[in-house]
Amino acid sequence: MLPPLFFSVRLPTLLAILWRTYFQRDSVVGMSHKGPLSIVIFRLDSLGDVVLTTPLFRELKKAYPKSRCTVVVQEAYRPLLVTNPLIDEVLSLPDIKPPWLPLGAKRLLSAVLLYRTRLRARHFDFAICPRWDVDEHLATFLCVLTNASNRVGYSEKASLAKQRINRGFDTAFSNCVPPGAARHEVLRNLAIVEALGGTVSDDTLEIRLTERDRRKASKLLAQVAPSSTLIAIGIGARSSGRRWPFERYAQTLRQLAGEHPVQAVIVCSAAERGDAVQLANALPGDVIIVSGAPIREVGAVLQRCDLFIGNDSGCAHLAAAVNCKAIVISRHPRDGDANHFNSPLRFAPHGSCVRVLQPATGRDGCKAACSRMGPHCITSVAVDPVVAAARKMLRELRPTNLPLPTRPWPDKVLRHLMHSHSVDAVQRAVEALRSNQDQPPAPR
């Protein structure tokens, strides 16, 4: 029996490779890296994948400062990249309306339409497909169709599933990147830079919010008391098996509310609003629900929050990208397959203040990964470890018992504190303020 993606992904891609190889050879083969480059990157998968690719855009620009970078994403994630000055152009797949068409047919028609309307008449020096996993969204197909001197992508040998579903795709690439050892997807994305001869100096995520986004977030949070501890709850996930039970979120928030002036903010899609209302009814106090808001406004809300607690989802990646401390509950067992697409080794939110809680081992025969449709292995993550992790992160959020100044602080130190935009920077400024108490007052 043919795999489900044979007709919608593999067959069209193999036909595109055949067409490109025998009927439409590139007019330019190979090039010098000394001049300006034109680069197109196909990132057609989910929100988390897009967020984890943002360091690639920056490091490519560092390696080739005069290059022009075009990125192709799903329309829903386009707003996340249009504010990034390191990306020159963001294209999105057109929406195919007829509801009676199967999803695979819609994706194929959308890719063909994008090629004919936006890519057919253009030439690029590099077409890049950074996806390590199985290509389900026709990124390789578009990479082949696009007129490019060089095509770069990960080998089909990356996983058994990719060898089966994407068999024959290695011939699509002039530079076929080997799978390498198990490691985080940010590092795998950045390996593309090294494959092109560049060097990588920074793996920080890069999401640019605007003042308008922050004003919108301020309106959504207008009724929050300044003394409140804002905790965002991310209830969504790509599959039901990744969703921690609502009652456990409620228990976690009730315990934290007994120790902090907690203001809960539930972040979800428009389709999940009913679930959010259900959870809100089980939480103490008034709960803010941010449902179906524009993606950068969601990022601005998360940026205002003291802590994010949620499922393994795109929202968790967005929280980490805007420097919100994050606790993620994963269904993937610690002794499971490190290269599985649920593995935190690969897909944990990327940031300095992220904690992933996961079951020690799989339940009921789940070994390499959790294989059940609904919440199963994830239910092995109890409430108490989540509460303990939250307490620790909230303690680290702001210094406690800071002594009041006995004399004026120097203007230089005050300016340093006012311009500190990260927890580490604030802590360093506070230490400077504390140490200043032991110094003689500055002469006036």
pLDDT at 35: 56
Residue type, 380: S
The C-alpha angle 183, 73, 93, rounded to 5 degrees, equals: 145
Considering the domain 211-397 in this protein, what is its CATH number? 3.40.50.2000
Nearest to 185 by CA among 35, 69, 338: 338
pLDDT at 402: 40
User: What is the pTM for the complete model shown?
Assistant: 0.87
Helix (H) and strand (E) counts for the chain? 16, 12
Per-residue pLDDT tens for 93-149?
999 989 999 999 999 999 999 999 999 999 999 999 999 999 999 999 999 999 999
Number of Cβ atoms within 10 Å of the Cβ of 52 = 29
Q: Do domains 6-195 and 211-397 have the same CATH topology?
A: yes
Positive or negative, the CA dihedral 118, 121, 125, 130 is: positive
- Name the residue ranges covered by the structural domains of the chain: 6-195, 211-397, 402-444
At residue 216, what are phi and psi to the nearest 5 degrees? -60, -45
Helix spans in 210-321 (H): 211-220, 246-257, 273-281, 295-304, 314-321
Confirm if 395 and 364 have CB atoms less than 8 A apart: no
pLDDT at 422: 46
- Looking up tokens 């943002």 gives 54
Buried b (16+ CB within 10 A) or exposed e, 113-133: ebbeebbeeeebbbbbbbbbb
Residue type, 237: A
- The CATH topology of domain 6-195 is Rossmann fold (3.40.50)
pLDDT at 204: 97
Nearest to 309 by CA among 386, 367, 381, 378: 386
Helix/strand/coil for 283: coil
- Identify the DSSP state of 93: P
Mean pLDDT of successive 10-residue stretches along the chain, which has 444 residues: 81 96 63 70 97 98 94 97 97 94 95 97 96 97 96 96 96 96 97 95 97 97 95 95 97 96 97 96 94 97 98 98 97 97 97 96 94 95 98 76 43 47 50 47 40
Spatial separation of the C-alpha atoms in residues 444 and 442, rounded to whole Å: 6
- Identify the DSSP state of 402: P
Nearest to 132 by CA among 362, 366, 338, 372: 338
Nearest to 48 by CA among 133, 117, 146: 133
- Identify the DSSP state of 281: H
